[in-house]
Amino acid sequence: MASPVRLFMPAPFSAGAELPLDATQAHYLGTVMRRGAGGEVHLFNGRDGEWAAEIVALARGAGRLQVRRQLRPQAAEPDIWLAFALLKRHAVDLVVQKATELGVARLLPVITARSIAERTNLDRLRAIAIEAAEQSERLSVPEIAPPQTLADLLRTWPAGRRLTAAVERAAAPAPAPAGAAPAGLLVGPEGGFTPAELDALRAHPFVESASLGPRILRAETAAIAGLALLAASSPTN
């Protein structure tokens, strides 16, 4: 039996409701996944849990689903944010994909002194996050914020949310699991934070430095490893 196809659709779900497919979704179902009328699709929107729907019409560039029944209710997910210095495009794509799979609630690209200055296409990153959420069977898609400077990130960071900064060669413990508490991870660029940036981090009481081990990791590897440690005992969907 073929695995169910999952689609993220922002519309509300209720039994009997009909939902239109856009051209990309219709192409994916018909051409990529080779599904047709009568096939089952699993839907999620980040609010109503996961629902089964039937393909009632599918043509080139269009289609329609009818919502049938709820498969599982919306459940608690980790309240973990990832702030990461902008990297080269392929590395940013990997960070967004893997962070989504690990259950991150919000992604915050950060401009640092050693960031790779490339244009950030938020629509493309959201598409990557949606695909990763569909594949990993999570029930939501993380929010992706516009890029901001490190100074702005620290200035607007919410009170009560711990921010763990992964610092190379730091005499510091590994990131502590977040549990059910709101938390965040900050990963710097290739080459690490500058001395001035490290001083700025130390000036904020909500920031705690952490080490990811004795090796110097690529920035994208550090993001994945740090998130795995933070999410170790967090609620999952």
Q: What pLDDT digit, counting tens, does each position of 163-202 carry?
A: 999 987 767 777 777 777 899 999 999 888 999 999 999 9
Query: Quick one: pLDDT band at residue 2, thresholds 50, 70, 90?
Result: low
Q: Please report which helix (H) or strand (E) contains residue 123, including its range.
A: helix 122-136
The β-bridge partners of 61 are none
* pLDDT recorded at residue 164: 95
CA distance 75 to 10: 17
CATH 3.30.750.24 applies to domain 80-230: no
Token duo for residue 202: 């130390």
Q: How far is CA 66 from the centre of its chain?
A: 28
Instruction: Look up residue 33 and give its amino acid.
Output: M
* pLDDT recorded at residue 236: 58
Token duo for residue 195: 């001395």
Phi, psi of 111 (to 5 degrees): -95, 115
Q: What pLDDT digit, counting tens, does each position of 29-72 carry?
A: 998 999 999 999 999 999 999 999 999 999 888 999 999 999 99
The β-bridge partners of 70 are 51
Pairing of strands 5-8, 40-44: parallel
CA distance 27 to 39: 15
Burial class for 153, CB neighbours closer than 10 Å (0-12, 13-18, 19+) = buried
Region 77-91 average pLDDT: 93
What does each C-alpha distance from 174 to 164, 171, 189, 213 come to in angstroms?
10, 10, 19, 7
pLDDT above 60 (res 237): no
Lowest mean pLDDT among 26-40, 98-112, 180-194, 205-219: 205-219
Q: What pLDDT digit, counting tens, does each position of 141-167 carry?
A: 999 999 999 999 999 999 899 999 998
Q: Mean pLDDT, the chain, as a whole number?
A: 91
Multiple choice CATH, 5-72, 3.50.50.60, 2.40.240.20, 3.40.710.10, 3.40.190.10: 2.40.240.20
In this structure, the number of other CB atoms found within 10 A of the CB of residue 212 comes to 21
pTM exceeds 0.95: no
Residue ranges of the domains in the chain? 5-72, 80-230
